[in-house]
Amino acid sequence: MSDDRRLEVLRAIVQDYVRTSEPVGSKALLERHQLGVSAATVRNDMAALEEEGLITAPHTSAGRVPTDAGYRLFVDRLSTIKPLTRAERTAIERFLHGAVDLDDVVARTTRLLSSLTSQVAVMQYPSLTSSTVRHIELVPLGGPRLMVVLIVNTGRVEQRVLDAGRDLTGSEDVVAELRARVNATSVGQPLAAVPARLATLVDAARPEDASLTSAVADVLRDALEEQTEERVVLAGTANLARVGTDFPTSLSSVLDALEEHVVLLRLMGNLSSTREGDQVAVSIGAENPYAPLRTTSVVATSYGVAGGLGILGPTRMDYPQAMAAVRAVAQYVAEILDG
């Protein structure tokens, strides 16, 4: 049996099983695909694929289904990821560019990915390690009240209102000077490095401005601590129920695992370590390190250097379409957050 023909038969089995969810027999393969060989040859090829652990018989019928190893070989031998259509890409761009802030971007992204793939969409909020301060604004609100606005390079915005301990009416120059010093100290710096730099700023403040400077620094430190929380957002969990036959005994375990965001963060991190650059990583079945998710597959990539996004679903998945959707959406998200 030639390797090329074996791969062609495997490809046909994967495609048919993904589409129909029914075990695939040699007769169906010959009817649906131009394999150019006899029924006996196809049966021999299928027997060889089964011996190699790439397909298996779920019961005593003549039909076969791909194994995790079969899906892996299929994915690894994809020469290219079929691009989305122009209409699909236009729809993605329009939908995501309507977002008003980072939370909206994340919510729209997960809903969009879930809709495009009919799987569970997972998106990790931008990571602390790659986030920097874009700008800090100080806005007098009248009397002693001052609004502090922290803007991160990923688009995250945090607002706090503090009591300056003194009336700031007529102190526009003082606020403007403090704003300039805070930005000179913080802009472009990693979030984790900013608190120490703010402490230096407080130490260098004039005695008459020390209280105000300290209050602003304390509020910013609180806001920065909230930025350190790693978060993931899901959409489309109900899609798993629609393919319940793919999880005859494990659906409840999968749903429980999806509620453990620490597990998802680790999963996204593991996939990040296996891919290069903006490549799409695929983890299939038993390759997943967390046991309750070993009946699922995960397709993920990064958006810029900020975080990861992807989809999770049964191993019986349209991998080329899922990979194309994940890659395209990630590219648009990166453009929005970097813009």
pLDDT in tens, 305-323: 567 899 999 999 999 999 9
pLDDT in tens, 281-299: 999 999 988 888 999 999 9
pLDDT in tens, 112-163: 999 999 999 999 887 665 678 989 999 999 899 999 999 888 777 888 999 9
Residue 130 in tokens: 């790659």
pLDDT in tens, 3-39: 788 889 999 999 999 999 999 998 888 888 888 888 8
Confidence class for position 339, pLDDT limits 50, 70, 90: low
The pLDDT of residue 60? 67
Phi first, then psi, for residue 190 (nearest 5°) are -60, 145
Contacts 24+ apart (CB under 8 A), 289-292: 290/257, 290/263, 290/266, 292/250, 292/253, 292/254, 292/256, 292/257
The pLDDT of residue 128? 60
Nearest to 10 by CA among 66, 75, 62, 53: 66
Pairing of strands 145-152, 296-303: unpaired
d(CA 316, CA 278): 24
Q: Give the sheet arrangement for strand 145-152, strand by strand.
A: 133-142, 145-152, 157-163
pLDDT in tens, 176-227: 999 999 999 999 998 888 888 989 888 888 888 889 999 999 998 888 776 5
Predicted confidence (pLDDT) at residue 229 exceeds the cutoff of 70: no
Mean pLDDT of 81-105: 83
The pLDDT of residue 1? 46
Residue, of 33 and 61, whose pLDDT is higher: 33
Contact by Cβ (8 Å): 131, 153:
yes
Write down all domains in the chain, each with its CATH number in brackets: 3-74 (1.10.10.10), 86-127+230-338 (3.30.450.40), 131-227 (3.30.390.10)
The pLDDT of residue 310? 93
The pLDDT of residue 17? 94
d(CA 115, CA 231): 21
